[in-house]
Structure 1
Amino acid sequence: MSATRRSGKTTQFSMAPSTRSLSRATGVAAAIAGALFIAVQIGHPAMDVSLVTTTDWAVRSAAKALMAALALAGITGMYLRQVRQAGILGFLGYVLFAVGYLSMLSVEIVAAAVLPALAHTAPGYVADVLAVAFGGIASHGIGAMQTVFVVSSVGYLAGGCLFGIALFRARVLARWASALLAAGTVATLALAVLPESFNRPLAVPTGVALIGLGISLWRAQPAQSDDDTTSPSAEYAAAQ
């Protein structure tokens, strides 16, 4: 930070981004994550070992990994924007949801970088991983991937529901999108009894919710903008 004295006044210049700009950036990240979450569902082929080595698989897996990273940034911005209003429920929801997205990011990195290499040498393992990923049962053990899938599912379902409820109660961001986030994540539980064809459509509500919350976060005004906050050092320098 540098200071320049002109006409008895001190003007300070800071290279650090403002709270408002960071909040807006996370809002954009959430909106993009929601759009990607919807986009990767369009025309998604059936999950099969033969798909793992295709360009389609690589592109979709990379897009899902990017989506998870952007969603993590987005929900972090949402939580920090209303940390006081969200309370303990918001904290618990955020932590669980963040763990869910971190696990999802790990899964997609493995899907993009590891599974294609194993598709020819260990097709049985790959088939078991795909089966467990969509709620099936593996014929053989899949090691730590089983734990990652469980953590991802619990974090996404429980975290999304609690976080959505906390956002709805906080009344800072769009309440319709908050309610849709809670309902959309919980709705995936229905996949246990619904045909696999419902897997893709049931992801759309959560994507729409992330887009709505991201736009709402981008438009929301901080309680006190950085431009209106004067540090004690700046007050002292201006008084000299």
Structure 2
Amino acid sequence: MSITTTKLTRWAGLSAAAAGLLFIGVQINHPQLDAGFATTTEYTVRQSLKVLMAGLSLIGITGMYLRQVTQAGVLGLIGYLVFGAGYLIMISVEVIGAVVLPTIARSTPGYVNDVFATVMGDPVTGDIGLMTALNMASAVTFLGGGLLFGIALFRANVLARWAAALLAVGSVATLFLPLLPQINDRLFALPIGVALIGLGYSLWSGLRTTAARTSRGTVGSPAHPEGAK
């Protein structure tokens, strides 16, 4: 099987859509994060899916950026780099959560509970060292990158604009969590998850349509002047 740019980009679209589904799926009936839950099989499965989700998302946004690198401009580059950094840090945080925290949950439950409290934005009673800075960096790059990347995709007008707008709005909406204490904060994953699904499908289906037109020999016709070069 030959590897082409079109195939890689379409795989990136599928990766983004799968990441969006996982992002939503892992939030469903998610138990409260604490040291006791960290020792369960369910926790290990959920953490593994989060690592997979972050990896697929990174592949997906890379495909999105390369698909419209010219149209996205400088804002697109900055948004991609910040958003990509957010996913890279997220992968490291989730791997620590999957590998390290379960092994120390029984011996130092207070530390594990404080790490979870930092992740969820709850008060912390102890010292968790550099995990505080790591979680802060993850939040800033993920939310800021989502906002910038979403705006850049919307302006580029190559992929589904509604999904790009939802990505930007969903990233900003997370900042209002402290003002809505009665709302389950996991609901705020839904807009970003749906946005990834929409952008991924748009990336995949757009190239699929282009390939179909090419096979029919319509590219380059008056209806498709972009093919006349």
Fold shared per TM-score above 0.5 = yes
1:137 offset after TM fit, Å?
A: 3.2
TM norm structure 1: 0.84
1:16 offset after TM fit, Å?
A: 4.8
Q: Is the 8 A contact 2:35 2:106 kept in 1?
A: no
Deviations 1:99-130 (A, max 9, x none): 11111111111111100001011111101101
TM norm structure 2: 0.88
Deviations 1:130-178 (A, max 9, x none): 1100112322221221121011101111100000000000000000000
Amino acid at match of 2:135: F
Q: Distance in 1 between matches of 2:186 and 2:119?
A: 14
Counterpart selection for 2:181 from 195, 217, 227: 195
The answer for the alignment partner of 2:17 in structure 1 is 31
Deviations 1:13-55 (A, max 9, x none): xx65111000000000000000000000110111222111011
Counterpart selection for 2:143 from 136, 148, 157: 157
Q: Is the 8 A contact 2:10 2:207 kept in 1?
A: no
Counterpart selection for 2:170 from 171, 179, 184: 184
Q: Is the 8 A contact 1:99 1:151 kept in 2?
A: no
Counterpart selection for 2:6 from 1, 4, 20: 20
The answer for the alignment partner of 1:217 in structure 2 is 203
The answer for the alignment partner of 2:31 in structure 1 is 45
Higher strand share: 1
Q: What fraction of aligned residue pairs are identical, expressed as a percent? A: 55
Q: Is the 8 A contact 1:129 1:142 kept in 2?
A: yes
Q: Distance in 2 between matches of 1:138 and 1:214?
A: 37
Q: Distance in 2 between matches of 1:196 and 1:130?
A: 19
Q: Is the 8 A contact 2:87 2:142 kept in 1?
A: yes
Q: Distance in 2 between matches of 1:56 and 1:111?
A: 13
Higher helix share: 2
**Tell me, which stretches of 5 or more residues in structure 2 are unaligned?**
216-229
**Tell me, which stretches of 5 or more residues in structure 1 are unaligned?**
1-14, 229-240
The answer for the alignment partner of 1:98 in structure 2 is 84
Alpha-carbon distance change, 52 to 104 in structure 1, aligned in 2, over 3 angstroms = same
Which structure has the larger Rg?
Answer: 1
Amino acid at match of 1:213: L
Q: Distance in 1 between matches of 2:182 and 2:133?
A: 22
Amino acid at match of 2:145: G
The answer for the alignment partner of 1:143 in structure 2 is 129
Amino acid at match of 2:76: G
Q: Distance in 2 between matches of 1:120 and 1:53?
A: 8
- Check if 1:134 corresponds to 2:120: yes
The answer for the alignment partner of 1:9 in structure 2 is none
Amino acid at match of 2:18: I
Counterpart selection for 1:59 from 45, 50, 63: 45
Q: Distance in 1 between matches of 2:33 and 2:180?
A: 16
